[in-house]
Amino acid sequence: MSGTQPSGGASGGANSGSGSGSAMRPAERALLASLPTGLLIDGEWREASDGGTFVVEDPATGAALLAIADATPADGEAALAAAHRAQAGWARTAPRERAEILRRAFDAVTARAEDFALLMTLEMGKPLAESRGEVAYGAEFLRWFSEETSRVSGRYATAPDGRSRLLVLKRPVGPSLFITPWNFPLAMATRKIAPAIAAGCTMVLKPAALTPLTALLFAAVLEEAGLPPGVLNVIPTTSAGRVTGPLVRDPRLRKLSFTGSTEVGRRLIADAADQVLRVSMELGGNAPFLVFEDADLDQAVEGALLAKLRNGGEACTAANRLLVHERVAAEFAERLTARIAAYPVARGTEPGAKLGPLVDAGTRDKVHELVESARADGATVALGGRPVPGPGYFYEPTVLTNVPADARILREEIFGPVAPIVTFADEAEAVALANATEFGLVAYAFTRDLDRGLRLAEELEVGMFGLNTGIVSNPAAPFGGVKQSGIGREGGFEGIEEYLETTYVGIADPFRG
């Protein structure tokens, strides 16, 4: 894998935030040295047009990992121009050929699972076990959409009055811009890129500046799998607005897909209106986690650990508010606190690590600010509640009880390992509390009452619902939210439709005359 190599290479030698004292290992150095560090534009790895670079850091140590090219607006324009030039030929490429590229990419990502897992742990911080899970999840989008590629179909029908025939065709939307977040560096890329490849769309990918290395490795794997030049262009940058803003206003772009905060999503939707772009938006969440009085508490605690602490709480699907029936709240809180207290906090590469660092100092400080705000509102800190001293951006796993229903921490996305517990008296109050937010991505509920579960599925204002499970993400299922949590769906049968336009052809009656 070629690329522009930074002067001085990767640095190491810093200790983990957990105090384990582990310096960067030879395998880590070797992986970083093998990565492309340039921009991928029209099938070539190149430096930024002004020669600029930026450094990617290890959030467990604060040490530099690698310097990579920092794209400029001119580089963004070149990437879109390449995607535009490649679009017509790529759209005519046989579906089976596109499918085989995706399948080869799936095989390659799976074969290099340890490389991808280690790289994500280094640049994002999550424990290796979770990174391996993300590799399996992210790769599955490649396999799923390889199977969907040849199933894109239309229809031929007789008009109701019998005087004409209706032909309905599907065709690619066209050049697409993807802006992905830092928290799932592989899965958020594959969830967008795989259906676009399947549908016949070319792409420009702007990965998050905090975690761009995984995207660069994945782009190199797609090249090796046979993806033609210009179909995927990758432009990491620290100037996201300056680079992507002109692309959104460029008439050659036909689709914008963004995963990130609702605040940024609103601005992008407004900008996309000028070109009437197709948009997919996967935005913020404020997921309620409901535990009813008849729940299996062991199962509910396990579900809460998954829904709250997966990815260190840095997930839009994380349980943000734990709403527990007043009859079982004390026992649930006691069990959950005992389990969370046993979670080792360490650099993600350390054996047994279950919680790594938060991604940067700003994220850690925001989490602590929310905890302190809840404390001031009258919440009880049952566990944790402080940043971990030392290098890196670690935060203690935290449980809050007696949280007032109007506390700020229940209104804002926490994005950290903090579990605030609120009580409710009955199902009606639980639903009202759950729906009392502008967000509507996902909700979770634990109950043995199937009728109640079905009622909740219809009453909760969310795009996804986990019944007696703390995880809902699945490549075969449509991922997305309602209200201010987004527009559109990713994954499932629905995912490829986001990259297809519908054309209707009216045909004169062949039996006329």
Q: Which residues are catalytic?
A: 282
Q: Which residue intervals of 257-397 are DSSP H helices?
A: 262-273, 297-309, 329-341, 361-376
- Kindly report the backbone phi and psi dihedral angles of residue 168, in degrees, each rounded to the nearest multiple of 5, phi listed first: -115, 125
Cα of 396 vs its chain's centroid, Å: 24
- Residue whose entry in the numeric block shows the structure tokens 């054996």: 351
Tokens 């690329």 correspond to: 3
How far CA 197 is from CA of 143, 172, 194, 253, 407, in Å, comes to: 12, 10, 5, 16, 44
DSSP letters spanning 419-488: EEEEEESSHHHHHHHHH-SSEESEEEEE-S-HHHHHHHHHHS--SEEEES-S----TTS-B--EETTEES
Q: Which residues of 182-210 are buried (b: 16+ CB within 10 A; e: fewer)?
A: bbbbbbbbbbbbbbbbbbbbbbbbbbbbb
> What value does the CA radius of gyration of the chain take, rounded to a whole number of Å?
24
Among candidate residues 136, 142, 133, the one with its CA nearest the CA of residue 311: 133
Residue owning tokens 């997919």: 280
β-strands 287-291, 319-325: how paired?
parallel
Find all residues with CB under 8 Å of 240, minimum gap 6, and list them: 179, 206, 209
Distance separating alpha carbons of residues 226 and 88, to the nearest angstrom:
17
